[in-house]
Amino acid sequence: MKLSTFLISLSLSSAALLSSHNVNANDQLAASICDYVGADDKSRIRKKLKETRVKLRNIYAGISCGGNNLIRHAIINGADGTGEYIVKQIPKSDLASGGDVAWADANGHSGSPVIAALKSRAGI
């Protein structure tokens, strides 16, 4: 009886350690991507995504950079090349429903090349 209790507690402890490690890794990935977007470094974003074997479209909704999504973060930082790359990687349905065009209009960024690429791709 004591051995089974020990094994159960050991497996639960291992699961907790592994899950906290994944959260930490996800936080580091998000922070790296935010940094690379802010620096307009498309090649480092691509490299990081390839290293972690993750597709941007799968993690886009879960990344927030200073309270903004990646597209808004790119626009604020003038990272046009990276912003256009992000627009190309995200499904059209997510682009159309994201509200980024209205946000850009309200915040004086309607002339951004990223917004032009978004409108073109989403058919807005």
In a domain, 9, yes or no: no
In a domain, 51, yes or no: yes
- b/e per residue 23-62 (b: at least 16 CB within 10 A): eeeeeebbebbbebbbebbbebbeebbeeeeeebeebbee
Per the structure, how many domains does the chain have? 1
Three-state secondary-structure class, residue 75: helix
Residue 82: its pLDDT value, please?
94
Please tell me the pTM assigned to this model: 0.75
In a domain, 40, yes or no: yes
In a domain, 86, yes or no: yes
In a domain, 20, yes or no: no
Those residues of the chain that have pLDDT short of 70 are: 1-25
Cross-strand partners of 65: 68
| Tokens coding 105 | 């209009």
In a domain, 85, yes or no: yes
In a domain, 10, yes or no: no
In a domain, 7, yes or no: no
- Give the range of the structural domain holding residue 39, as residue numbers without chain letter: 26-122
Residue 123: its pLDDT value, please?
80
